[in-house]
Structures are given as structure tokens and as C-alpha cells.
Amino acid sequence: MKKIWRYRYLYLMLLLPMTFYLVFCYWPMYGLQIAFKDYNIRAGITGSSWAEPIFQYFEDYLTDPYFWKVVRNTLLLNFYSLIFAFPAPIILALL
């Protein structure tokens, strides 16, 4: 106990990063359960039942007729962003 009291300021300094880590790294994992449940806002995450089959929503998404169109559009937007937006800062930096 004396050792803890002796280093209390170090523990106090550690409190902020640990809180940040818990809030932004571990708390979202709790919300990840929504992807596998029949989520009901009144019941909350823990009160909602599990989806049957458990990958139901992923199966619905992957078999949707618009899935490949969405993937294509996403890849094209990223490619165009890379082609047109990436060289501009380099050219301006070289001027």
C-alpha cells in the first residue's frame, strides 16, 4: 500500500490514457454485438435475442443484388481519389 501511495501521481497520470483506451477501444466491442442480434432498442444490447442464423444480416448483405455495385463504386471512388487528389499536394510542394 505504501508503494501505491508513493507513486500516486504516476497512477494519476495513467488514469487519462487508460480511460481513453477503455472508451475508444473496448467500449465499441460491446456495440459490435448488435451485428449478430435481432436488436430491439427497448431491450438494449444485452436484452435482445441472437439472430437466427447468427450470420443472417451478413448473408442478407452479401446476397443483396446491389452489393457488387456498392463495392465497385467504393473502389472507383477510392481509385479516383488516389489519382486526382494524391498528386496535387506533391506538385504544390515541389513548386
Number of domains in the chain: 2
Statement to judge: residues 41 and 74 lie in one domain: no
Provide the pLDDT confidence category of residue 30 given band limits of 50, 70 and 90.
confident
Statement to judge: residues 47 and 89 lie in one domain: no
Task: Considering only residues 38 and 13, tell me which one the structure prediction assigns the higher pLDDT.
Answer: 13
DSSP per position, 26-87: IHHHHHGGGGGEEEETTTHHHHEEEPSSTTHHHHHHHTSTTHHHHHHHHHHHHHHHHHHHSH
Does the residue 35 lie in any domain?
yes
Residue 31 has pLDDT above 80, yes or no: yes
pLDDT the model gives residue 62: 92
Does the residue 59 lie in any domain?
no
Domain of 95 in residue numbering reads as: 64-95
pLDDT tens digits, residue range 33-80?
888 888 888 988 888 888 888 888 889 989 999 999 999 999 999 999
Statement to judge: residues 32 and 69 lie in one domain: no
pLDDT the model gives residue 51: 85
Statement to judge: residues 45 and 2 lie in one domain: yes
Q: Is the pTM of this model over 0.85?
A: no
Tell me the C-alpha distance between 85 and 93, whole Å.
13
Q: Do 54 and 36 contact (CB within 8 A), yes or no?
A: yes
